Structure 1
């Protein structure tokens, strides 16, 4: 397992432990609530990434949303890409876009969070020779440009802000970027995560 894999596994275990300490355990017969977004540790920023595929339209939307250790919106970016891609390839392209966008910042410690478990595993482990594997390998190489970085998996329910933005990107004209002020279409999701 790579250094990134060990770090990500340790961070996931820490996050699970924290959630277990904060969330009351369900009684027998109760369904456990969906998992929610959590602020990154002090001094870190969290970047949620996602992709949305539109069947039959030949486009995908990719997005990333950046929040600081207080949970405040920092910036976001979305883009629409032409082509019919398998969902896992779309997720990989979304991560790759986010890594390219943020690699020059070098001002913070970064946690990239994706709800695509296969992607996180492929970036952190061994890969094959498919197009998806090639993008995952490229993402792994891009991660080396960061001083302190983690790539972690989290459930879809903890990634709603990026998901909403990725879906909206499919109907946008191209690259969109927001700095300091979040777009209205994700404001409700940001407020919900802040509760």
Structure 2
């Protein structure tokens, strides 16, 4: 199904990272908001069907809700996967509300400004499936989100895994 979006597995909850099927890549994303100062960030990683690192990202967002930070993670992750030419992508997010938001594309609430941009990415010529994952299965994305640069608001693309996440991979 070219250009298809599927919510298959959207209610499945996994507790650890599992490799995607042959021919698929997996994107794990996360958003984080500091309780100390309210600053938000997001991060994530795209891995191949063997678990190999393809690209990661980390971005400071500024002040926003946790839900919005999760949406930023999804947006930046989809953008990174598209940029490197992924055509079959499983997306795992530890925010069930984000997965539910996109479960039925016809009724997506567009009140958050970022939603139309995510919808545009999902409608491109590729297969994307969203699934919920427990926080334990999303530890690399969580680390990347929490360690975003505080110096700027650029999305930092990571072609190599940071040394600090090797133990988490």
Instruction: Give the corresponding residue for 1:19.
Output: none
Bigger strand share: 2
Q: Which runs of 5+ in 2 are unaligned?
A: none
Bigger RCO (CA 8 Å, 6+ sep): 2
Q: Report how far residue 56 of structure 1 moved.
A: 4.8
TM-score for both structures, normalised by structure 2:
0.83
Larger radius of gyration: 1
Distance 1:107-1:114 versus aligned 2 partners, 3 A rule: closer
Q: Report how far residue 124 of structure 1 moved.
A: 2.4
Task: Indicate the larger mover: 163-172 or 69-78.
Answer: 163-172
Instruction: Give the corresponding residue for 1:153.
Output: 132
Return the alpha-carbon distance in structure 2 between the equivalents of residues 12 and 160 of structure 1: 19
**Correspondences of 1:115-194 after superposition (within 5 Å):** 115-125=94-104, 126-128=107-109, 130-131=111-112, 134-169=113-148, 171=150, 173=152, 174-179=154-159, 181-190=160-169
Aligned partner of residue 100 in structure 1, secondary structure: helix
1:66 to 40, 46, 59: 46
Aligned partner of residue 36 in structure 1, secondary structure: coil
Q: Which runs of 5+ in 1 are unaligned?
A: 17-33, 191-195
Deviations 1:64-122 (A, max 9, x none): 1011101111221111122x211111101111122223324334311111111111111
Return the alpha-carbon distance in structure 1 between the equivalents of residues 47 and 117 of structure 2: 24
TM-score for both structures, normalised by structure 1:
0.73
Q: Give RMSD over aligned pairs.
A: 2.4
Q: Count how many residue pairs are aligned between Structure 1 and Structure 2.
A: 163
CA contact (8 A) 1:51 1:166 kept: yes
